């Protein structure tokens, strides 16, 4: 994406980006708090990451938060299918300058805002300087309108996923009780722990686990405890229990109907689990915290 430049060229580019981050006091929004960023990740596909991202965003909106959901899966973007919406534009089109941020932010079900993704999105670590300007425009839009930003990140631990999601205020690692999924979840926790240790920015908040498709409350709890114990022993990293979602036949039924389960089956077991999870997160959102805005945290990854 970037053309080859010598040492002085790279230095000039870094200086230009730093100047871009210097926002005059008169133009900064003084009273608007930074958006709380919740990144939802998984070590492998097929564990319900997108299902959780979409329904959690709706549950937080029901609790009175202004929520925007981003589909940042750069390989297989499909959050629009879970929500049952048609995308007029996508996040990559904004970065390419073909659409404005306002053109791609659409109204989703449950009174959430939604920014669709697309397959084949450019590696976020290799954006051109023009694309970075477009990214800044999107982030400014977020800061002015919403107080919660849910990122549905791609599965796996690719560099672009780890770099972006590691700066979130809350990082949710989704797994199922299957041994292969638990192993991948541990690898994901390890990758993010190492990223946060290496970053010299002080970024990163709580890291937690969500156990999806648990056959019982006991299985959900046991799966979390195994992961948390291993992370504490070998990584010296605290892992928060953000709950479990019981296996529920209503979930695949809702997916086939292209509807969020929380809206079509609000009293089913899976919906109750999502609402309990949102309740815990909502209480955390209510805590007064001094944190950098998403605008500054993400752009600092590039310089």
3-state secondary structure of 225: helix
The CA–CA distances, whole Å, from 273 to 19, 54, 172 equal: 45, 14, 15
**In this structure, what are the phi and psi dihedrals at residue 160, rounded to the nearest 5 degrees?**
-65, -35
Q: pLDDT tens digits for 39-93? A: 999 988 899 999 999 999 999 999 999 999 988 776 666 888 899 998 777 777 7
**Per-residue pLDDT at 17 exceeds 70:** no
Q: Residue 197 has what pLDDT?
A: 77
Least confident of 61-65, 170-174, 199-203, 210-214: 199-203
Q: What angle do CA 58, 182, 174 make, to 5 degrees?
A: 10
Closest CA to 150 of 174, 177, 121, 115: 115
Closest CA to 106 of 93, 120, 124: 93
Higher pLDDT: 158 or 169? It is: 169
Range picked from 35-39, 90-94, 143-147, 219-223 for highest mean pLDDT: 219-223
Q: pLDDT tens digits for 276-290? A: 999 999 998 865 444
3-state secondary structure of 220: helix
Q: Taking each helix axis as running N to C, give the angle between helix 129-145 and helix 7-21, from 0 to 180 degrees, rounded to the nearest 10.
A: 20
3-state secondary structure of 52: helix
Mean pLDDT of the chain: 79
Q: Residue 247 has what pLDDT?
A: 98
Residues in the chain: 303
Q: pLDDT tens digits for 118-162? A: 655 555 545 566 665 666 666 666 666 888 999 898 777 766 677
Chain-centre distance for alpha carbon 264 = 24
Residue 84 neighbours by CB distance under 10 Å: 17
The CA–CA distances, whole Å, from 234 to 171, 205, 237 equal: 19, 20, 8
Higher pLDDT: 4 or 186? It is: 186
d(CA 187, CA 117): 25
Q: pLDDT tens digits for 247-277? A: 999 999 999 999 999 999 999 999 999 999 9
Any idea which residue has 């694309």 for tokens?
Answer: 131
Name all domains of the chain by residue range, CATH numbers in brackets: 34-68+147-297 (3.40.50.300)
Chain-centre distance for alpha carbon 160 = 12
Q: Residue 231 has what pLDDT?
A: 96
d(CA 137, CA 75): 23
**Per-residue pLDDT at 221 exceeds 80:** yes
């Amino acid at each position: 994406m970037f053309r080859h430049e010598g040492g002085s060229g790279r230095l000039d580019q870094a200086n230009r980006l730093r100047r871009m981050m210097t926002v005059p006091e008169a133009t900064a929004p003084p009273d608007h708090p930074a958006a709380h960023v919740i990144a939802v990740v998984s070590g492998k596909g097929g564990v319900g990451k997108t299902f959780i991202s979409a329904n959690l965003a709706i549950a937080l909106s029901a609790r009175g938060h202004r929520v925007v959901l981003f589909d940042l899966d750069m390989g297989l973007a499909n959050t629009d299918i879970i929500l049952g919406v048609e995308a007029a534009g996508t996040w990559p089109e904004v970065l390419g300058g073909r659409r404005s941020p306002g053109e791609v932010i659409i109204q989703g079900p449950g009174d959430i805002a939604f920014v669709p993704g697309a397959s084949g999105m450019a590696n976020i670590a290799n954006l051109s300087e023009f694309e970075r300007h477009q990214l800044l425009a999107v982030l400014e839009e977020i800061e002015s309108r919403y107080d919660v930003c849910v990122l549905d990140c791609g599965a796996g631990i690719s560099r672009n996923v780890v770099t972006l999601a590691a700066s979130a205020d809350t990082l949710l690692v989704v797994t199922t009780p299957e041994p292969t999924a638990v192993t991948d979840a541990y690898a994901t926790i390890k990758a993010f722990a190492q990223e946060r240790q290496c970053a010299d920015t002080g970024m990163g908040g709580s890291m937690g686990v969500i156990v999806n498709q648990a056959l019982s409350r006991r299985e959900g709890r046991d799966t979390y405890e195994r992961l948390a114990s291993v992370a504490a022993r070998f990584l010296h990293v605290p892992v928060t229990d953000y709950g479990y979602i019981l296996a529920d036949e209503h979930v695949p039924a809702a997916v086939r109907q292209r509807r969020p389960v929380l809206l079509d089956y609000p009293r089913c077991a899976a919906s109750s689990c999502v609402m309990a999870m949102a309740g815990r997160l909502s209480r955390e959102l209510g805590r007064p915290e001094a944190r950098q805005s998403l605008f500054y945290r993400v752009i600092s990854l590039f310089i």
